[in-house]
Amino acid sequence: MARRIRREAEEAAIDLTPMLDVVFIMLIFFIVTTSFVKEAGIDVNRPKAAKAQSKPSATIFIAIRANGEIWMDKRAVDVERVGATVEKLLAESPTDTVIIQADKEAKHGIVVQVMDQIKLAGIDKISIAAENK
């Protein structure tokens, strides 16, 4: 009788190995297919616009503060280094759009210089972030 109970216990065991394999494969799939967005690293007071639209497809964000500081990838960058930094970020994650988040008090001369550096890096689609009214 003791042998009979052992056999039933052995037959009732569930093998979890295939389920764990499926879970790990799903985890790898989600890690590989996730797109990583490079944030600028600071918050700015964006100007308000009546026709503002959302553009979630860009992966490169450039923030310009009111005092003229330029932030990319959570660090301050000089105007001359914007093009090189954009090229480096393009090598990591190719995109065709860059979003500039300029403070509403930022001087337009700095914004134009940043746009020029982005164009020199090879990107033609530049969007300027604004908030809805």
Look up the domain containing 28 and give its range. Answer: 2-33
DSSP, res 34: P
Cα–Cα distance between 69 and 56 in angstroms, integer?
Answer: 24
Mean pLDDT score across all residues of the chain: 81
* Residue 63 and residue 102 in one domain: yes
For residue 83, being part of any structural domain is answered with yes
Q: Please, which residues bridge with residue 76 across strands? A: 71
Cα–Cα distance between 50 and 132 in angstroms, integer?
Answer: 6
pLDDT at 110: 92
* Residue 76 and residue 126 in one domain: yes
Q: What angle do CA 59, 102, 113 make, to 5 degrees?
A: 90
Cα–Cα distance between 81 and 72 in angstroms, integer?
Answer: 10
Per-residue pLDDT tens over the stretch 55-108: 666 678 899 999 989 998 888 999 999 999 988 888 887 888 888 988 888 898
For residue 40, being part of any structural domain is answered with no
Q: How many domains does the chain have?
A: 2
pLDDT at 3: 60
